[in-house]
Structure 1
């Protein structure tokens, strides 16, 4: 009997090893994490922003993504509904497909023409971040001046409005100067005019990497379970429908629509679908071996962050806080350009990206980078960098959180292309 148990254990172990060896790059993230960049902002508390008594905050740079929003367009909802209604008319639709029709109808009704707009959850996220910054760095929000800019996109403007409105509720002895519009695009929407980036996006190299990955990783089983195996899929239609199902359902939590993702995907399926979207974000807006164009989109923004910190050290910056509100596409290049841990990964094996670069960590809704300048009792200045309100080491290979400004400045300046260095 013992020998039988031993042989069974060996067989089970061998089966496990074989399964993992089939695809060692497969991920096993939770259903919540697999919402990807549509995941709502993580829970935070003000205690996580505490700093030593020997340091006093003197200046804060904040770069943030807009908060949770309705789906950015009706593209996926409409295409999915067309396929579902076709399956219904052909009588191939499954119970899961009928449930998806209800979900899509709910999304359309909840959105009611507000595609891409900030929703109540996104407003609350921005107010909460503002409140924690106020509580953690109170001297910066009392009888001081604050400058805030936003992309021209309404959800970014409203994110700025919610953030600054909360600050004035907490202390109206602060002057806030706000600006939104296309004049801010060089800082928060640089991809619209950058020629090097446009050339990269038009190139075949990244498209081939991505398309090959889509072909091998999008599970058609999701579409088949919704529309039925007898549905007359054409070409890549099953893959497209599986991706549309993922895009719609993954975006529901950001709209405060409660969906049990486990009713529609296996864990392996949602991990595969997430990895496809994750790779797209990585290839088009982070650092990779294919091109330096995506991270260098943030060059002007980083140069401005350095300059405003310099002026704060020199006592020439009229503002105690400067806020900038943009998009996930604003954040990803910046975080990659300065090599924030978990936001920078270089490889020629693109099937490993999901193991090391995860959009749900890099750019959840309302993601933000804060650079806090402190002055010590001796008069020396230090910089702390927070990603999503969590202090992170700035310089690769070092675990130091509080870095002398001269050292931090030298490092940040070296991250810039030569034409932007100063």
Structure 2
């Protein structure tokens, strides 16, 4: 079954970005989701929020965001495919689909050349949109007396995401005070990985053998390669079939993040896309979430930023301030943080690699532009502080923490709950 010509409406994209777990049918209906962490943040309108308890007003937002949409991480991710197709074309080794694909890759290269890993124009628009919706929803937070603290990792796409976000807020209220920094000083919590986590990812241990076996079982590049090349000798001599299938998967996935309106989804069958995504999703789950595969050691990667979230909030509360703390990092930082926060659908566990997609989905946890917002409220007549959590601008919950005002929680209860995690 080919998927060329599928049109996904804005309505479909937006309603598909819910927090319910994935099904195979859902993924096959919207192939853009199989991009995983390359899934482009949907163009949302302001999502309706549940009113806070009577008398409570927002005064502070603690934010952690992934950078916006980007190009593939290296120029070489495009160039080697282009060079291979050009070589095959020169040797009359391409099918009509192969020739057409070659021309498409040439057009993509015109935009992508020199931009490997860079924030794309869409990434800028995403951050500006998230900032504006935050401003519109919580105007009490962004009054003239508010103070903004913005911190980014040293990677340029994160820095530019921070700037796009802050600039939009400043455009909406030029009197806002916004302090922005990208410094090694903050890398200890923005992009922290324990030595144990690094070793776990690099070692040739049981999980890698399981993943390799799983991948070999469900990935078969022969059909795709045969659709592009008509010369068997050329294929045998120059085409690494599985690498080419993966290369086109990444290229197809990232097109939604670029300005060039070209698709490569017609090269794949729907089941092929789903199977490749399963492999990527499983690897990221094992490497970045917390689960029985990794003995939950990835929680420790999130502890420094969780401490920063608590300390930063308490400082604002103590000083009776208002404003926002904005943090910009990467998908590998979002995943362990959301798992440590125990937010709904961000920490499901299974020891069956075939079942991972049923309990955890990378495109819902950390798409391009992913963001966590913790919104703080208080009464003018009381020191009581309550909070709510938004994942990708949708209210969510902490299933293990009870509250009689859900999706709102009392800050003292949230702190006590997370202190137990920090103490483990």
Are 1:176 and 2:181 an aligned pair? no
- 5+ unaligned residues in a row in structure 2: which ranges? 1-22
Change in Cα spacing, 1:227 to 1:187, as seen in structure 2 (3 Å) is: farther
Distance 1:130 1:219 in 2: 43
Quote the residue 2:168 is aligned against: 166
Quote the residue 1:22 is aligned against: none
Quote the offset at 1:182 in angstroms: 2.5
Quote the residue 2:246 is aligned against: 243
Residues 360-371 of structure 1: pairs in structure 2 closer than 5 A = 360-371=363-374
Quote the residue 1:54 is aligned against: 55
Distance 1:65 1:224 in 2: 38
CA-atom RMSD in angstroms: 2.3
Q: SS where residue 307 of structure 1 aligns?
A: helix
Quote the offset at 1:90 in angstroms: 4.6
Quote the residue 1:17 is aligned against: none
Change in Cα spacing, 1:274 to 1:337, as seen in structure 2 (3 Å) is: same
Change in Cα spacing, 1:311 to 1:395, as seen in structure 2 (3 Å) is: farther
Change in Cα spacing, 1:363 to 1:81, as seen in structure 2 (3 Å) is: same
Quote the offset at 1:253 in angstroms: 0.9
Distance 2:147 2:190 in 1: 21
Deviates further, 63-72 or 231-240: 231-240
Distance 1:341 1:95 in 2: 47
Distance 2:177 2:208 in 1: 47
Are 1:408 and 2:393 an aligned pair? no
Runs of 4+ in structure 1 off by over 6 angstroms are none
* Counterpart contact for 1:66–1:326, Cα < 8 Å: yes
Residues 103-122 of structure 1: pairs in structure 2 closer than 5 A = 103-122=104-123
Summarize deviations over 1:3-56 as a string: whole Å, max 9, x none. xxxxxxxxxxxxxxxxxxxxxx96651212112211111232224246335320
Q: Which has the larger radius of gyration?
A: 1
Quote the offset at 1:397 in angstroms: 7.0
Are 1:151 and 2:153 an aligned pair? yes
Are 1:282 and 2:285 an aligned pair? yes
Quote the offset at 1:348 in angstroms: 0.9
Q: SS where residue 164 of structure 2 aligns?
A: helix
Distance 2:305 2:158 in 1: 17
Quote the residue 1:5 is aligned against: none
Quote the offset at 1:396 in angstroms: 2.7
Quote the residue 2:189 is aligned against: 187
With the length of structure 2 as denominator, give the TM-score of the two structures. Answer: 0.86
- 5+ unaligned residues in a row in structure 1: which ranges? 1-24
Distance 1:82 1:276 in 2: 27
Aligned length: 391
Change in Cα spacing, 1:234 to 1:337, as seen in structure 2 (3 Å) is: farther
Change in Cα spacing, 1:161 to 1:167, as seen in structure 2 (3 Å) is: same
Q: Which of 369, 387, 391 in structure 1 is aligned with 2:395?
A: 391
Residues 18-417 of structure 1: pairs in structure 2 closer than 5 A = 28-29=26-27, 30-49=30-49, 51-52=51-52, 54-143=55-144, 144-191=146-193, 194-205=194-205, 206-220=207-221, 221-228=223-230, 230=232, 231-233=234-236, 237-291=240-294, 292-315=296-319, 320-376=323-379, 379=382, 380-396=384-400, 400-417=406-423
Distance 2:77 2:227 in 1: 18
* Counterpart contact for 1:219–1:272, Cα < 8 Å: no
Distance 2:227 2:272 in 1: 12
